[in-house]
Amino acid sequence: MLRAEIWEITGFTMATAALATLLMVPPGLFLAWLLARGRFHGRLIVDTAISLPLVMPPVATGLVLLAMVAPRGPVGRVLARAGIEVVFTWKAVVLAMAVMGLPLFVRTVRAGIEQVDRRYEAAAATLGAGPLRVFFTVTLPLARPAVLAGAVLGFARALGEFGATIMIAGSIPGATRTLAVAIYSFAETGRDGDAALLVAVSAAIAFVALAAANWISSRQGVQA
């Protein structure tokens, strides 16, 4: 395999995983806060639904996503009208990665927020801070180690995403082919050596990402 091809696949995977991580942060923070601090009916349902991608077959999640973002799907139709095509593009790769990484991010951040002493939030409220200010100036900074650990875990999960990606993005060389997808394609077409090389690259990246997450956790005493 050409060195350029390895770099291209690796670079594409890292870039899409990074974008996916950015994409999961805003809804992930909100959901983690909602589950840690919210008191509402149907909490258990929200909690369970968010974690579904963790236990469902990823291809099943991929199929649900495909139904939604396909040009005739409920979300896809709106996007198509705005001229945005998702299926079988890099955007589909990012979406699949974000959806699959979100549960890990939410669970980690939620545990971190639950560890933030509510007395600080109460103190901020008596000092005149509204819920948003309390969250951004008190809760979030105090839960920062968990947010970092959650982001690294989400990123690591995104790097290895395969099932949902293959369903909505396929394996188009130079367009949607990530490390995981390329390993599968190469192995299937008899390019075993190339597949093995990419396995080594994936292992190295995953190792660094997980070591980073563990380092953050152990340093700051958060459970990831």
Partner 1 sequence: MIGLDFRLVQGAFTLDITAQLDRPITALFGPSGAGKTTVLDAVAGLRRPASGSILIGDRVVFDSERSVNVPARSRHVGYVAQDVALFPHMSVRRNVLYGRRKGQKLSLDTVTRMLEIEPLLDREVPQLSGGERQRVALARALMSAPELLLLDEPLAAVDVERRRRILPYIERVRDQMRVPIVYVTHDHAEAAQLADEVILLERGRIIGRER
Q: Which of residues 125-164 bind partner 1 (CB under 8 A)?
A: 125-130, 137-138, 141-142
Angstrom distance (rounded) from CA 75 to CA 34 = 24
Q: How far is the CB of 216 from partner 1 (least distance, A)?
A: 16
Inter-CA distances, 180 with 43, 52, 163, 175, 191, Å: 34, 21, 9, 14, 14
Q: How far is the CB of 123 from partner 1 (least distance, A)?
A: 4
37 contributes a contact to partner 1 by CB under 8 A: no
Q: How far is the CB of 50 from partner 1 (least distance, A)?
A: 28
Window 93-132: contact mask with partner 1 (x via CB under 8 A): ------------------------x-xx-xxxxxxxxx--
Angstrom distance (rounded) from CA 83 to CA 2 = 35
Q: How far is the CB of 28 from partner 1 (least distance, A)?
A: 21
Contact of 155 with 22, CB cutoff 8 Å:
no
Taking every pair of C-alpha atoms in the chain, what is the biggest distance, in angstroms?
67
CA 129 centroid distance within chain:
31
Contact of 138 with 120, CB cutoff 8 Å:
yes
Q: 168: closest CA among 102, 70, 85, 78?
A: 70
Q: How far is the CB of 146 from partner 1 (least distance, A)?
A: 14
The smaller minimum CB distance to partner 1, of residues 125 and 197, is found at 125
Interface contacts to partner 1, rule CB under 8 A: 117, 119-120, 122-130, 137-138, 141-142
